[in-house]
């Protein structure tokens, strides 16, 4: 019997839009790539991107930077995190999140994950009290939003500042509030596999004038902060301009030019991702041995990737599922593998952090599979992918 094989590419992005290519070429022809190297009367692509991104979220201030990791680091520095401080964060996240904490010589305190792949709010409450931490770097890992109302209630009660890592939730929301707008800072990524693509890049938003003034100075404004349009008034810089080190991490006009047309297209792109996500989700629901992660009604998702659980089956059986799908063209990543590979490192892989035990997270990650849903795929492709995953999971389930 001939098996279905998928021939798509899980790492192939859509082309950069023609409008973005034209804007990038115009910047290159001008020679003015640096954000502060603008012609008289020209605001510059970076400043315009900051205005447009802030407006899209209803934020007062926005700063465009070199990467999502830089955005997180700038936020941590701005709120005063320093050596030996403890910063709460998800036990299930990607390496740049604890990396940003370690880069300011602070210590990550990992919080358990739930089967919904969100931060465990009971464990957060307990560890907030036990650790003495006053900052939470909240990672909306793989686009999953926790109950943000309850999280903010916990953090307000314990005097914890919330910084949101929204690398996977740009375009998403909780009860209609955009991701990144619950905490003091929202941090976003424009790396190739994120929701708008400049290869690398990041954005930082806040409504706090003092915090944004510090972030702008940190990014390397060379006292040119008056050229920022999505920024606090000049008086907000009166003291911080003397006290804040330059940790250069600006975005350039070329990347901003590439991003602005994509930002305008983001709502339509979100709808396309969600169509792919729902097709895979529905196709996999009720598969023996496989658990779909149900999304709450309060969450507006961006389905650029999908995760499923294979609870209770052996590592050998999961490896067989991954290998069987790979042989048929479907690329799954397993977060329970004994050795980290590519982006699937875990909290116990980050040995620059103190050794910690997260038994609930270990159990969940042991059966967690992850798959990208690039927009180069169609809904018909999603159905083919679903058929292959179902076949391989059911085969492993029967054999187990």
The pLDDT tens digits of the residues spanning 237-287 come to 999 999 999 999 999 999 999 999 999 999 999 999 999 999 999 999 999
Among 196, 229, 260, give the residue marking a domain's end. 260
Average pLDDT over residues 62-83: 98
Task: Note the pLDDT of residue 342.
Answer: 85
pLDDT tens by residue, 199-239:
999 999 999 999 999 999 999 999 999 999 999 999 999 99
Which of 147, 202, 201, 203 lies closest to 177 in space, CA to CA? 147
Our CA angle for 266, 268, 273, nearest 5°, is 90
Q: Are 57 and 180 contacting, i.e. CB atoms less than 8 angstroms apart?
A: yes
Residue 341's pLDDT band, with cuts at 50, 70 and 90, is confident
Hey, which bits of the chain come out as E strands?
61-65, 86-90, 107-111, 135-139, 161-165, 173-174, 177-178, 185-189, 202-206, 291-292, 299-300, 305-309, 333-334, 368-372
Query: What is the average per-residue pLDDT within 329-341?
Result: 93
Angle, nearest 10°, between helix axes 253-284 and 18-30? 160
Query: For 50-68, what is the mean pLDDT?
Result: 98
pLDDT of residue 398: 59
pLDDT at 400 over 60: no
SS3 call for 204: strand
pLDDT at residue 289 tops 80: yes
40 secondary structure, DSSP code: T
192 and 234 share one domain: yes
Of 211, 228, 260, the residue at which a domain comes to its end is 260
Distance CA 118, CA 200 (A): 26
DSSP single-letter state for residue 234: G
Asked whether the predicted pLDDT for residue 1 surpasses 80, the reply is no
Tell me: the pLDDT tens digits for 144-191? 999 999 999 999 999 999 999 999 999 999 999 999 999 999 999 999
The number of folded domains in the chain is 2
Per-residue pLDDT of 36-48, as tens digits, reads 999 999 999 999 9
In a domain, 6, yes or no: no
Domain span at residue 376 reads 266-399
337 pLDDT more than 70: yes
Residues 328 and 206 in one domain: no
Please indicate, yes or no, if residue 7 is contained in any of the structural domains: no
| Residue 378, φ and ψ in degrees, nearest 5 | -105, 170
Residue 71 placed within a domain? yes
Record the tokens describing residue 108, joined without a space. 């990550």
Q: Looking at residue 397, what is its pLDDT?
A: 73
Question: Which pairing describes strands 305-309 and 291-292: parallel, antiparallel, or unpaired?
Answer: antiparallel
- The CA distance from 107 to 85, in Å, is 6
Identify the sign of the CA torsion 13, 344, 183, 231.
negative
The strands making up 333-334's β-sheet, listed across from edge to edge, are 291-292, 305-309, 368-372, 333-334
The last residue of one of the domains, among 208, 231, 260, is 260
Q: Are 237 and 295 contained in the same domain?
A: no
% of the chain exceeding 90 in pLDDT? 96
Q: Are residues 242 and 303 in the same domain?
A: no
Query: What's the whole-number average pLDDT of the chain?
Result: 96
First to last CA, the chain: 23
CA-to-CA distance for 368 and 326, rounded, in angstroms? 16
Determine what percent of the chain is predicted with pLDDT higher than 70. Answer: 99
2 CB-near residues (< 8 Å, 6+ apart): none
**Which CATH number is 354's domain given?**
3.90.1150.10
């Amino acid at each position: 019997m001939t098996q279905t094989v998928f021939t798509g590419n899980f790492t192939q992005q859509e082309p950069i839009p023609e409008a973005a290519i034209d804007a990038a070429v115009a910047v290159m022809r001008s020679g003015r790539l640096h954000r502060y190297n603008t012609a008289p009367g020209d605001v510059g692509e970076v400043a315009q991107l900051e205005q447009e991104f802030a407006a899209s979220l209803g934020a007062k201030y926005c700063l465009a930077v070199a990467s999502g990791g830089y955005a997180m680091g700038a936020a941590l520095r701005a709120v005063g995190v320093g050596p030996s401080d403890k910063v709460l964060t998800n036990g299930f996240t990607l390496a740049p999140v604890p990396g940003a904490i370690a880069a300011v010589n602070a210590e990550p305190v990992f919080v358990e994950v739930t089967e919904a792949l969100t931060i465990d709010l009971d464990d957060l409450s307990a560890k907030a009290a036990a650790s003495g931490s006053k900052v939470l770097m909240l990672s909306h890992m793989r686009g999953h939003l926790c109950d943000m109302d309850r999280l903010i209630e916990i953090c307000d009660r314990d005097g914890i500042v919330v910084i949101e890592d929204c690398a996977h939730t740009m375009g998403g929301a909780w009860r209609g509030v955009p991701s990144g707008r619950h905490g003091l800072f929202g941090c976003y990524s424009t790396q190739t596999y994120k929701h708008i693509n400049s290869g690398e890049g990041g954005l930082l938003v806040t409504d706090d004038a003092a915090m944004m003034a510090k972030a702008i100075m940190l990014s390397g404004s060379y006292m040119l902060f008056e050229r920022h349009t999505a920024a606090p008034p000049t008086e907000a810089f009166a003291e911080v301009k003397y006290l804040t080190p330059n940790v250069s991490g600006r975005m350039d006009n070329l990347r901003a030019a590439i991003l602005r047309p994509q930002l305008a297209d983001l709502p339509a792109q979100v709808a396309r991702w969600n169509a792919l996500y729902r097709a895979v989700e529905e196709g996999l629901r009720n598969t023996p041995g496989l658990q779909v992660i149900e999304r709450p009604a309060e969450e507006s998702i961006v389905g650029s990737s999908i995760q499923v659980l294979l609870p209770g089956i052996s590592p050998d059986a999961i490896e067989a599922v991954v290998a069987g799908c790979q042989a048929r063209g479907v690329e799954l990543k397993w977060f329970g593998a004994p050795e980290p590979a590519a982006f699937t490192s875990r909290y116990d892989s980050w040995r620059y952090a103190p050794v910690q035990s997260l038994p609930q997270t270990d159990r969940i990650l042991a059966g967690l599979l992850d798959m990208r849903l690039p927009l180069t795929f169609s809904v018909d492709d999603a159905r083919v992918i679903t058929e292959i995953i179902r076949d391989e999971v059911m085969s492993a389930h029967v054999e187990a």
